[in-house]
Amino acid sequence: MITRRKVPRLTVKKPSIAVLGGGSWATALVKILTENHREVHWYIRSQEAKTYIEEQQHNPKYLRSATLKTKRLRITNDLNEAVAKAEFLLFVIPSAFVQAELKQLNIPLEGKIIFSAIKGVIPDRLEIMGEFFHRKYAIPYVNIGVITGPCHAEEVALEKISYLTVACQDLEKAKMLSRLLTTHYIRVTLSDDIIGTEYAAMLKNIYAIAAGIGHGLGYGDNFQSVLMSNAIREMKRFIKNLHKMKRNINASAYLGDLLVTGYSSFSRNRTLGNMLGKGYTVQAALSEMNMVAEGYYATASARMIKQSFKTRTPIIDAVYAVLYEEKKAVKVFSKLTKKLN
């Protein structure tokens, strides 16, 4: 269940915190956190990027318009160093690369509080991040949380009013992190639906690819509105089969995140879909993108996950046909239009 309320001020000491990942969303979270916290540990792989950020106060590849308070940053290329120094770990590494990054970890995660800002699934395990950390590393669910939208990193850089959802079974931990993420331009909502919000964050990327394909094919606003209406209902059916609990699918963490990702020009998944609709091959479209489109990996994972239950997912099926079965977008979406209502 999601609650919209002002996060109360806690009297406990601010936790030590580390952001793991160097992309645009990681950069946005670092920008937010350094406004409220005097010391933020940041793991990024590139030594060149580390040096550049420390000297220029900008990430050289991602979110260049965001000025970073480097005096409050402790940047490292050593994952173990960042993990060792923090109580709260914010994972912002693309889902397809999480396991490879964690292979270098040689210190235990026991006792750490892990929040995932990753909007995808571990491909070969078909697990969202919360499930992955619980099953592989025995992290209790009360020490696992999710940071989701609706929020684009680019608007955070511009300090436009934005909204985040922080989900955790232990709402005290959610409140603690929420305080660190609340600024004059960031509003925070709390939730205890760690499974549903994380699956929603994964699925909305697939639907954004669909929205992009429709746009690339020249379909108009009328189609897009019906597509989004069907997408939120499809999302509801999908998540309900995996985790039944009381949730309002029209809340910002679900519908709001879907809409901003499906409609925004900042959406990398919509951009991928737009290229496919215009006739790009999948490989050509992926090669032109300078950021990971999580929806590409999520589509294959969602298609495999749904085999365990019988639910209609015509939009996921259509995107899968274009991405993985090499079917022409124009033919696939012509058939899709007849399945929507």
Per-residue pLDDT tens over the stretch 161-218:
999 999 999 999 999 999 999 999 999 999 999 999 999 999 999 999 999 999 999 9
Question: Are the CB atoms for 327 and 317 separated by under 8 Å?
Answer: no
Percent residues over pLDDT 90 in the chain:
83
How big is the CA angle at 150 (ends 268 and 73), to the nearest 5 degrees?
A: 80
Distances in whole angstroms, Cα of residue 160 to Cα of each of 154, 155, 156, 157, 233: 9, 5, 6, 8, 29
Structure confidence by residue, pLDDT tens digits, 12-29: 468 999 999 999 999 999
Of 258, 278, 142, which is closest to residue 197 (Cα–Cα)?
Answer: 258
Residues whose CB falls within 8 Å of the CB of residue 11, separated by 6 or more in sequence, listed in order: none
Q: How far apart are CA 290 and CA 37, in angstroms?
A: 30
* pLDDT of 2 above 70: no
* pLDDT of 220 above 60: yes
* 204 given a catalytic annotation: yes
**Phi, psi values for residue 321, rounded to 5°:** -60, -40
Q: How far apart are CA 136 and CA 142, in angstroms?
A: 16
Strand 88-91 to 73-76 pairing: unpaired
Of 204, 244, 327, 335, which is the active-site residue?
Answer: 204
How big is the CA angle at 16 (ends 11 and 17), to the nearest 5 degrees?
A: 120
Of 52, 56, 67, 62, which is closest to residue 26 (Cα–Cα)?
Answer: 62
Residue 48 pLDDT: 94
Kindly state the average pLDDT of the residues 80-102: 95
Structure confidence by residue, pLDDT tens digits, 49-84: 999 999 999 999 999 889 999 999 999 999 999 999
Beta bridge partners of 144: 114
* pLDDT of 119 above 90: no
Confidence band of 315 (pLDDT split at 50, 70, 90): very high
